[in-house]
């Protein structure tokens, strides 16, 4: 019988995290490096990758981290990364589709707010879908396709509690704005992308089940990051545990979902939201 801790061990494996320069991407990278994986740290430019690596090395000095710029919306960029990595003898065992655009909800009084469904700009729809959904599809096609050929691998899609429930638009209402159509809302794109990622997860899990590639999703709830206190207060009232997540609270789940600890799990969505979607 193998020890339980050895099932979390990622020594000898290489993970690739998209959007790794961001708030949670750094955490996912740290979690994977902490479990012994080499991590290819990717983001739209090299600068955010290097900055993330410097921060992670402060807590895990021995972390084996490889920066590579990947724009997940560009087939050229993803294919160039594959060639670059292959040239260095690096193949990807674990893919974390994390890159996304999370548009901040702000408002300009006096005009129909462009985040509202009736006025939502098509170029913004296309751009956000290109990053959050098509980007995950493209990286899965390229890196997951190679895993399927080899007969093993793991894909983890970073969804959201808003991939399971609709946004509660009351959270974004601004008391100084009286006209409803001027109120900002959480855009439709976020819901569509996150629900879509869970669909992609189920599709690929069954598509590659016989090829040794497991595909799961995680749906994190909102992370506290010094947001407006009024917003935090309203949001925490919707969460049974009465608080937002701490930034490092998803790390253990990332290790679980990306390692052999979850070896009999595929096509699932692990919801970690302080109970918000249960209410």
Ligand X SMILES: NC(=O)c1ccc[n+]([C@@H]2O[C@H](COP(=O)([O-])OP(=O)(O)OC[C@H]3O[C@@H](n4cnc5c(N)ncnc54)[C@H](O)[C@@H]3O)[C@@H](O)[C@H]2O)c1
Please identify, using beta-carbon distances, which residue of 25 and 196 lies nearer to ligand X: 25
Minimum gap (Å) between residue 187 Cβ and ligand X: 12
- Name the token pair of 181: 């159509």
Q: Is 274 in the site for ligand X (CB under 6 A)?
A: no
Q: Which residues contact 79 (CB under 8 A, 6 or more apart)?
A: 142
Q: Which of 102, 168, 182, 260 binds ligand X (CB under 6 A)?
A: 102
Residue 135: alpha-carbon gap to chain centroid:
11
Question: Strands of 38-43's sheet, edge to edge?
Answer: 65-69, 38-43, 14-17, 94-97, 153-158, 213-220, 269-272
Minimum gap (Å) between residue 274 Cβ and ligand X: 11
Give the footprint of ligand X on residues 4-23 (CB under 6 A): 18-19, 21-23
Q: Is 51 in the site for ligand X (CB under 6 A)?
A: no
Q: Is 67 in the site for ligand X (CB under 6 A)?
A: no
Please identify, using beta-carbon distances, which residue of 24 and 204 lies nearer to ligand X: 24
Q: Which stretch in 67-75, 88-96, 111-119, 168-176 sits in contact with ligand X by CB under 6 A?
A: 67-75
CA pair distance 102, 33, nearest whole angstrom: 25
Residue 94 bridge partners (DSSP): 15, 154
In 45-64, which positions are buried (b, 16+ CB within 10 angstroms) versus exposed (e)?
A: eeebbeebbeebeeeeeebe
Q: Is 48 in the site for ligand X (CB under 6 A)?
A: yes
Give the footprint of ligand X on residues 192-251 (CB under 6 A): 220, 222-223
Residue with tokens 């990332």, as numbered in its chain: 254
Rule CB under 6 A: which residues touch ligand X?
A: 18-19, 21-25, 43-44, 48, 70-73, 98-102, 131, 158, 160, 220, 222-223
């Amino acid at each position: 019988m193998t020890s339980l801790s050895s099932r979390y061990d990622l020594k000898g494996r290489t993970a690739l995290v998209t959007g790794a320069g961001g708030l949670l991407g750094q955490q996912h990278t740290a979690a994977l490096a902490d479990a012994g994986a080499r991590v290819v740290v990717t983001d739209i430019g090299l600068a955010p990758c290097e900055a993330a690596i410097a921060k992670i090395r402060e807590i895990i000095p021995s972390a084996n981290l490889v920066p590579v710029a990947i724009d997940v919306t560009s087939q050229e960029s993803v294919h160039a990364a594959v060639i670059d990595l292959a040239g260095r003898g690096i193949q990807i065992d674990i893919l974390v589709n994390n890159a996304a655009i999370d548009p901040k909800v702000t408002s300009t009084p006096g005009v129909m707010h462009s985040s509202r469904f009736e006025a939502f700009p098509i170029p913004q729809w296309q751009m956000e879908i290109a990053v959050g959904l098509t980007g995950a599809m493209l990286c899965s096609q390229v890196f997951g396709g190679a895993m399927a050929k080899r007969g093993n691998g793991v894909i983890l899609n970073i969804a959201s509690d808003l991939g399971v429930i609709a946004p509660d638009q009351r959270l974004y209402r601004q008391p100084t704005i009286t006209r409803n159509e001027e109120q900002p809302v959480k855009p439709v794109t976020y819901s569509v992308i996150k629900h879509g990622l869970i669909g992609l997860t189920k599709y690929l899990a069954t598509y590659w089940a016989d090829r040794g590639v497991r595909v799961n999703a995680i749906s994190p709830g909102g992370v506290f990051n010094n947001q407006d206190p009024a917003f935090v207060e309203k949001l925490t009232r919707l969460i049974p545990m009465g608080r937002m997540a701490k930034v490092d609270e998803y790390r253990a789940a990332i290790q679980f979902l990306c390692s052999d600890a979850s070896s009999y799990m595929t096509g699932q969505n692990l919801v970690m939201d302080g109970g918000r979607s249960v209410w």
